[in-house]
Each structure stands twice: as structure tokens, then as C-alpha cells.
DNA sequence: TTCTTTCATTGACAGCAGAAAAGAACAACC
DNA sequence: GGTTGTTCTTTTCTGCTGTCAATGAAAGAA
């Protein structure tokens, strides 16, 4: 209906041509194998529309009729479940941090096939971009081994990213400003490139392939070096009018709390992010603790001061989640991030603070945790590439 | 496309039959008179589609060709602006509070033609419902004087309201639980009834007819007896998965702050809502101050203790807005409510606290105030009725 | 007067999805 | 074993919506 945003390169063989086809495809991606009748019920499409949407997708091989091996209702004509052929297409997802690049090769169902990471010594675009293209080439040759083409590349970067234009407006960690990343990498690699904020990319992965499947309102909270939050409202990822959203790390929880690098006092990030926890642990123990793992070990040894630091951090996170819950009323909050390793220490604080701050029915919100392997961020980037490939209007 | 939610009563003469017609109508409602060419540009519809959408609407009189009397470009064929005939239909909006009912008769452009209010002595449904129907009858006879039919009725109630089912799930102020308000009033009055939460209704009015026109992301903050917030994300009003959203009144700003009726400490509402301000003013002055007007008068007389109370309240509001801005990144925040009378006293606190807490580009958010006449809440209810009448898919 | 420019309308056309009916594949029942 | 019933799936037909391209309309400019 609308002309393509960027014209190069041509998206040959876009799988879904009509809105209905797109809808059917995304439904199948998220909800495993389904019979055509079931697809019709879920998408509110007529049976005829489903048939007409499925056929061309099966002809080009993105969908296959596959065994559901689930319990059948034993009455009426047996159903023929349809599923996405995960191996029919590959995607590359890349996450760029201040000191490393993580890259994965993922299939159409966003399962990781190959993972790579390289350390970075310099973070300027001139230094990083060649490393990205080299890594992409490496994964492209890997993909040849599967005999399947790579159909898209997603790149996740922290900071202010304009996905529709493919531009990194400002990334504090990388010290990048106004880099037309999608365009550059597209010309360098020949792949369709999608660029997005890292937390949003992770949120997309959860929305389509994770704990957010089927929910139109949820929040994804990441705990680690920073505290972030991805939001899905009305079934769409929230980007904010100025590219900033979900900045719960800088909610000020306590006006008398420790100063934050943002200039404010008592930000969640100044209490519960890794650097803040390390600082407090050093203060409590007097020991030169320099990694999250060391701090965690001390806590697990039972050091009461250290445990107290984690308890306070958990409380701050819980209150931040409480703010999100009160403001948006999501159906579910997914907690993830490297900091999840300390979840047992956070848990009580989070639960209590959330219970205290959630107002009324907002407290019915379901809170769950999800482990975050280090490739997960890159997988999120791959998910954005898959999303672009499908041509979903969810974005 | 979908079957009607409730079948009774039949929505005769629904103005917009096709999605395009609905889009054109809402565009014209929000953006005054427009030429057909301009409508096409704004809606991304072809000129042909606009012509075909406009014609039937003009035939039944909802749209008229009217003078734009604006500057014309002086080149090419002169344009024929089209506008909504505000007087072609009337709507009733009703706001129910704990101690009064406010009702307005509004035209299709949501301009108030008649306003009424009655005090309530009891707040149970058995007591209130007859008053509502009586008030509706009164306004219906008023409408006869205009020679135009009333096409819909909107009711706004504070608390947890399920608009799609027309049910008040729980209203703390009214002490109502699970009242099928829409159904009851529909059968009593014969009008199509829309029931919604009061803050959301006000948000709808701003979105279609106020300072939120054309914005897909904004927040409406109401200050007064309570502190509330309506949110529009991706062009749609946020209701939350459990009917609760925008509860910024119960964001906990200061763990050491005054206790709130919700059980938590330092809630915004426990610092900046009218009752909290009165309590603090009494504490500061020792005088038996019992109304917001008295407190305001003291502040304007220059009492430093009282001014300080307002300053702290302003700061709390500013930090609450900061939270919303950080979480959602809206394009604009509209501050309104009865408490706006004291805005000059709040202003500095709001501005400073917001500037301190807004992170990065989120600070670009535009903050503005809007006076709130007492009928405005009822006008919001009328706006929801108009929205239902148009059959907009925005909801 | 004729050209240019912009606005508006018309009729033909293509695409998408729904309705209804037919076909397919099984279980249960007599 | 045939019939009936149930559910899934496909086919055919139809209606509707919005786009395209061509045409007409109304002004100012050359």
C-alpha cells in the first residue's frame, strides 16, 4: 500500500504479499504448528482467506505441513497442521557494545545456529564498521554450509536509534552520532539491514518468540550494567516520540539516594545497576571488589552487608517495575539481563516493593524472569531482521 | 468487518460505513475545514478515495462545503474546503462524581451547547441511575429546541471501567461494583451509551478536539482532588491489561513521605492532591483551612509556609511527569484539572523537577497547561459518545 | 486567448476477503 | 458394511474498496 521506505536493495521474494498473508505468517511464527482452522479462529480471518494465504507461502517453502503430534479431538476430519519451515531462511543478528560485537546466525524461527563474538579495541565507527562487515562475511560463509540464503541482517545498538530511517542518532556508550548505519552496512554487505535499539530488539524477540507471545501489553526489564525496559503497548513496541522510551533506569526512586551520572539523585541505575552494586559492596566490605561475579560470590557466602546491598537494589528494581505497572498496566513483566544471576538475592526486594507500589488491579500483573544468555541480545537483533523480512505492520 | 459488540439499539445512520470514510470524518473533526486534496494528503488516501468517502457524508448532511476564509495559494483551481456540520447531531455527556452529576449537551464538534449539574445525596446505583435518566430526559427536551436528534450518550465514571462491555467494574468513590451501566441506561433512555473512565474520556476529548490533535503519543495529567493521567500511545488511548493505567497518583516519590490511603508512603497523591495540600497547609499555619480556595488564598497572600507546601507539591507532580516522560517518551504533556488554579505556585517546582528527571531526548517533550472548566469532564464523556458514533477504530 | 497549475470527478480495474457450498477424511452407530 | 455426523479444507462466486489514469473545472499568468 505504501511505497517502500528505502528502495535499495530490492526485497526479493518477500514472503507475505497481502496483509492476511503477513498476519498468518506471524501467527504461525509465534504459535508453533496450527491447523488452518485454528489460524482462522486466531486471526479472525475466514477459512477461505487462510487457505489463500497459506498456499503461496507453502509453494515457496516458507510453510510446510508438519506433524503436530498433539492430541487430536478424535472427531471429524483430521486436521492438517501447518508450520514455519525454520530452516528455509537464515538471518544474522548483531549486537554492538562498547567493547565487543556479538553476532549470531539464526533461522526463521529465531533459533540460534551459530554464535560469534569479537572484542573491540576502539569504538569509533571507522573502527567498528569493518569489524561488523567482516563478521557478517564470516557468518555468510557459515550460512553457505547450511545451503540456505541469509535474507536479512539486524543490528542492535544501545542509545537513541531511529529504526525507520536506519540511523543511530546518538549512542553514549559507542560515542556515535548520526550514523546512517543501515545504509552503510547495506551497501557493504548487500543484505537488507534493520537497525534498532538493543532493548527494543530484545523486546521484539520476546514479543514474537518468547514470553511476550500473544500479549498486547507487556514490559521487558533488563538488569545488568544498566537498567532498561522495553514496552509493548497495543501490540506494538514503544519507541517514544523522540526515540527515548522505557528509561526506567533513570526513574528517581529516592531523592536522598546516591548521585547518578545523569545528574539526578537516587536513580534506579544508581542503586541497582552493576557499577552501583559494586560501589556499595566495596563500601560495605572494604574489599576491592571489581566484578559482578565477585560481588555475587560474597553475597552467596552470606556476607550480611553485601546481601543488604542486593536487597536494596532489588527494592529499587521492584519500585521501578511498580512505576511501569502503575503507568501502563501491562499484562506481564519479564525480568531479564545479565544481572539475573543475582535474582535470588533481588527476588524478595522486587516482590515486596512491587506489591507495595502496584495500585489496585495493576497488581494482577504477572511477573516472571527469563535467563539471558550472552547471545540473546544478538538474537534480538535477528528478530528485528525477521520482522522486517515478514513485512509485519506491527512496527 | 466485525459484528457489532452489542446489538441493541441499532445504530441507525452510522455516518461512516467504510474505513476510509471513518478516517476522513475523524480527520475533518480534528483538523477543521480542509480541502479534499489536503484530506488526501493527510490520510494517505488517493484523491478518488476522498471524493468517494466525502460524497455520501455530504448527502446525509454530516459534512458541508464551507468557507475556509483562509489564505489561498492563488494558483490553480481554487479549493473547495469541506467541514463537519457541527449542528447536524447532538450528544450528551455525563460525568458522575461522588457528590454530583454534571451533564452537557454537545454538538458534533464537541462544543458544549447546554450544561447542567445536580448534587447527589446518595451514591448507590439505585439512587444515582434515576437521576442520570432524568437528566438525560431533560437534555433531550433541550435538544428538541435545536431541532436535532441526540445520537449518543457518554458516561464518565472514575475507577475501573470496561468500555467495550460498558461495565463499571469498580468505582471506589461511588462504591459501585460490576454495574452494567451501558446496558441499563440504554434500555432506560433508548440512546446508544458509551461508558468510560473519566480520565480516559478527558483524554479522548483532548485527542480529538484539544491539545492532543494530531499527536500519536501524549499524556494528559489531571491535578485536583486526585492526580490522574491519561495516555495516548500509537494514537490509541491506553487502558491497561486490567483496566488500570496512568495511575501516576500512586507513584511513590519519596519513601519517607507522608502515608497514602493506598498503603504506601510518599505517593504523589499524598503530597500534591487537594486533601494532602490542605493537610499540610493546616499543619504549616495552624489555621482550620478546609477548601482548596482558602489554601490558595493564603498562598497568594504570601504566606511562606503555604507557598512551600505548594512548591513541594509542584515538585512531586514534576517528578511524576518525569516518570511518565522517561517511560513513554510522549511528544507532549498536557496538565489540567481543578488544581490548575494553583499552577502559578506549582509551575516552578514542576519545571525544575521535570528538567532534573527527564532523561536525554525525553526532555524535548512539550509541557503545556490547559484550563479545565467544570463541565470539561462531561464534555470528555460526550467525546467518547462521538467516537462511538463515528465508529472509529482508534479505540 | 492560450497555457499552466491545482483541485475535483469519473469510470475502469485489480485485489482482497467473505459466504456458501462442495469435497475430504475420519469416528460412531446401527 | 453402509449410513450418519462432525470437522477440516478447498473452490467458486460475489461484493466491496481503493487505486489508476484520464477528464473536466476554475482560476491566474504569459
Q: Are the CB atoms for B50 and B24 separated by under 8 Å? A: yes
Q: Are the CB atoms for A246 and A197 separated by under 8 Å? A: no
Q: Which nucleotide is nearest to A47 (CA to C1')?
A: D9
Q: Each residue of B117-139: pLDDT tens digit?
A: 999 999 999 999 999 999 999 99
* Chain A environment of B250 (Cβ under 8 Å): 326, 357, 359
Q: Do the bridges between strand B90-96 and strand B100-107 make them parallel or antiparallel, or are there none, so unpaired? A: antiparallel
B67: Cβ under 7 Å from strand D?
Answer: no
Nearest-angstrom CA–CA distance, B83 and B388:
20
Nearest-angstrom CA–CA distance, B75 and B72:
8
> Is B33 a residue whose pLDDT tops 50?
yes
Q: Read off the C-alpha cell for B19.
A: 474505513
* Mean pLDDT value of segment B295-321: 92
* Chain A environment of B244 (Cβ under 8 Å): 326, 329, 359-362
- Using the beta-carbon criterion (under 8 Å), do A359 and B248 form an inter-chain contact? no
A-B contacts at Cβ under 8 angstroms: 159
Q: Do the bridges between strand A100-107 and strand A112-119 make them parallel or antiparallel, or are there none, so unpaired? A: antiparallel
* Mean pLDDT value of segment B167-190: 94
- Using the beta-carbon criterion (under 8 Å), do B240 and A362 form an inter-chain contact? yes
Burial A366-381 (b: 16+ CB within 10 A, else e): ebebbebeebbbbbbb
CA of A20 to C1' of C24 (A): 25
Of A310, A221, A3, A325, the C-alpha closest to B250 is A325
Of B296, B182, B169, the C-alpha closest to B244 is B169
Q: Each residue of B193-218: pLDDT tens digit?
A: 999 999 999 999 999 999 999 999 99
Nearest-angstrom CA–CA distance, A378 and B337:
46
Q: Each residue of B224-246: pLDDT tens digit?
A: 989 999 999 999 999 999 888 99
The pLDDT value recorded for residue B390 is 86
Q: Read off the C-alpha cell for A8.
A: 535499495
The pLDDT value recorded for residue A3 is 30
* Chain A environment of B231 (Cβ under 8 Å): 327-328
Longest dimension (CA), chain A: 72
Q: Which domains does chain B have, with CATH numbers?
A: 19-87 (1.10.10.10), 89-204+376-389 (3.30.420.40), 214-369 (3.30.420.40)
Shortest CA gap A133–chain B (Å): 30
Q: Are the CB atoms for B93 and B106 separated by under 8 Å? A: yes
Q: What is the pTM of this model?
A: 0.91
The pLDDT value recorded for residue B9 is 33
Confidence at B73, pLDDT banded by 50, 70, 90: low
The pLDDT value recorded for residue A109 is 95
Confidence at B172, pLDDT banded by 50, 70, 90: confident
The pLDDT value recorded for residue B394 is 60
Sign of CA dihedral B364, A219, A251, B203: positive
Nearest-angstrom CA–CA distance, B383 and A194:
40
* Mean pLDDT value of segment B67-91: 81
Q: Closest partner residue to A247 among B216, B244, B326, by Cβ?
A: B326
Q: Each residue of B347-377: pLDDT tens digit?
A: 999 999 999 888 887 888 999 999 988 899 9
**Across all residues in chain B, what is the average pLDDT?**
89
- Using the beta-carbon criterion (under 8 Å), do A247 and B360 form an inter-chain contact? yes
Of B201, B245, B208, B210, the C-alpha closest to B97 is B201
> Is B393 a residue whose pLDDT tops 70?
no
The pLDDT value recorded for residue A13 is 52
Nearest-angstrom CA–CA distance, A134 and A120:
13
- Under-70 pLDDT residues of chain A: 1-14, 67-74, 392-395
Whether the CB of B355 is below 8 Å from some CB of chain A: the reply is no
Nearest-angstrom CA–CA distance, B379 and B36:
29
What is the phi/psi pair of residue A163, to 5°?
-65, -40
Give the strands of the sheet with B332-336, arranged side by side.
B236-237, B227-233, B218-223, B332-336, B366-369
Nearest-angstrom CA–CA distance, A67 and A70:
8
Q: Mutation test of the interface with chain B: which of A203, A219, A266, A359, choosing the one with the most B Cβ atoms within 10 A?
A: A359
The pLDDT value recorded for residue B263 is 82
What is the phi/psi pair of residue B298, to 5°?
-60, -45
Q: Read off the C-alpha cell for B371.
A: 484550563
The pLDDT value recorded for residue B45 is 92
Amino acid at each position: 500500500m505504501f511505497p517502500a521506505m528505502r528502495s535499495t536493495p530490492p526485497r526479493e521474494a518477500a514472503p507475505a504479499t497481502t496483509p492476511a498473508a503477513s498476519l498468518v505468517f506471524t501467527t504461525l511464527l509465534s504459535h508453533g504448528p496450527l491447523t488452518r482452522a485454528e489460524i482462522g479462529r486466531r486471526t479472525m480471518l475466514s477459512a477461505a482467506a487462510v487457505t489463500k494465504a497459506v498456499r503461496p507461502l507453502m509453494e515457496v517453502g516458507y510453510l510446510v505441513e508438519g506433524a503436530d503430534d498433539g492430541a487430536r479431538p478424535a472427531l471429524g476430519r483430521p486436521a492438517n497442521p501447518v508450520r514455519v519451515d525454520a530452516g528455509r531462511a537464515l538471518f544474522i543478528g548483531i549486537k554492538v557494545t562498547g567493547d565487543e560485537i556479538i553476532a549470531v546466525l539464526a533461522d526463521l524461527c529465531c533459533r540460534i545456529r551459530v554464535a560469534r563474538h569479537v572484542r573491540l579495541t576502539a569504538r569509533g565507527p571507522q573502527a567498528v564498521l569493518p569489524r561488523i562487515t567482516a563478521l557478517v562475511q564470516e557468518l555468510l560463509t557459515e550460512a553457505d554450509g547450511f545451503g540456505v540464503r541469509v535474507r536479512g541482517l539486524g543490528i542492535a545498538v544501545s542509545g537513541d536509534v531511529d529504526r525507520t530511517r536506519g540511523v543511530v542518532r546518538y549512542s553514549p556508550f559507542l560515542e556515535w552520532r548520526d550514523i546512517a548505519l543501515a545504509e552503510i552496512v547495506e551497501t557493504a554487505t548487500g543484505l537488507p539491514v534493520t537497525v534498532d535499539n538493543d532493548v527494543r530488539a530484545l523486546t521484539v524477540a520476546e514479543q514474537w518468540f518468547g514470553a511476550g507471545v500473544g500479549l498486547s501489553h507487556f514490559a521487558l526489564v533488563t538488569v545488568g550494567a544498566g537498567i532498561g525496559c522495553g514496552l509493548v503497548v497495543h501490540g506494538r513496541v514503544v519507541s517514544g516520540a523522540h526515540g527515548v522510551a522505557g528509561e526506567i533506569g533513570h526513574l528517581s526512586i529516592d531523592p536522598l539516594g546516591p548521585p547518578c551520572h545523569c545528574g539526578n539523585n537516587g536513580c534506579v541505575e544508581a542503586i541497582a545497576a552493576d557499577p552501583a552494586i559494586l560501589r556499595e559492596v566495596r563500601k560495605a566490605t572494604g574489599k576491592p571488589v571489581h566484578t559482578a561475579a565477585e560481588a555475587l560470590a560474597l553475597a552467596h557466602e552470606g556476607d550480611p552487608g553485601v546481601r543488604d546491598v542486593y536487597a536494596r537494589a532489588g527494592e529499587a528494581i521492584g519500585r521501578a517495575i511498580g512505576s511501569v505497572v502503575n503507568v501502563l498496566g501491562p499484562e506481564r513483566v519479564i525480568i531479564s539481563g545479565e544481572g539475573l544471576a543475582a535474582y535470588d538475592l533481588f527476588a524478595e526486594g522486587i516482590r515486596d516493593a512491587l506489591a507495595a507500589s502496584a495500585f489496585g488491579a495493576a497488581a494482577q500483573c504477572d511477573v516472571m524472569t527469563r535467563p539471558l544468555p550472552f547471545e540473546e541480545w544478538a538474537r534480538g537483533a535477528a528478530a528485528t531482521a525477521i520482522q522486517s523480512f515478514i513485512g509485519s505492520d506491527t512496527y
